[in-house]
Amino acid sequence: THHVCAISLCTEHGDLAAGTTEKTCSRRNSIVGLMDIMGAIFSGVLFLPMTNLMMVMPQVMAERAVFYREKASGMYRPAVFAAAQGLAEMPFVFLESILYVVIMYCTIHFEFTSEKALWFWLYIWFALMICTFMGMGFMSMTPNMP
């Protein structure tokens, strides 16, 4: 359910941002148009990753009982469990970043060159991955969920 919520929220935020920036971001020759574009990028780089950070915390908390049980039985080491959690998140964050970048890149009217689109996607993908892993790390460091 976490991944379905994250992907639907990504699409919803992209559509919402697209609706608010579609008309204003086409004016690049003014300061107001440039500020609109920068604001759209800023909100995208902050809102979506922070939402991922908050949404991954309950999932990691729910998996904690499984981790303690399997650690006590000697099934595998904690590093393997952490690596599996991180690898399990990567395809969903990848899909989320692709959906968001396709929506935002088209509506902000950036230049359609593969190099610039790849850099924009990479920036969004790294922000999503950092915040997702940070949420996992925060939950691993705390004894209970607040």
The pLDDT, as a whole number, for residue 125 is 93
- DSSP per residue over the chain, as a string? -HHHHHHHHHHHHHHHHHHHHTTTTT--SSHHHHHHHHHHHHHHHHHHHHHHHHHHHHHHHHTHHHHHHHHHTTSS-HHHHHHHHHHHHHHHHHHHHHHHHHHHHHHHT----HHHHHHHHHHHHHHHHHHHHHHHHHHHHSSS--
The pLDDT, as a whole number, for residue 51 is 87
**pLDDT per position as a tens digit, 44-65:** 788 888 888 888 888 888 888 8
Domain ranges of the chain: 2-141
**pLDDT per position as a tens digit, 78-135:** 888 889 889 999 998 998 899 888 888 877 777 788 898 999 899 999 999 999 999 9
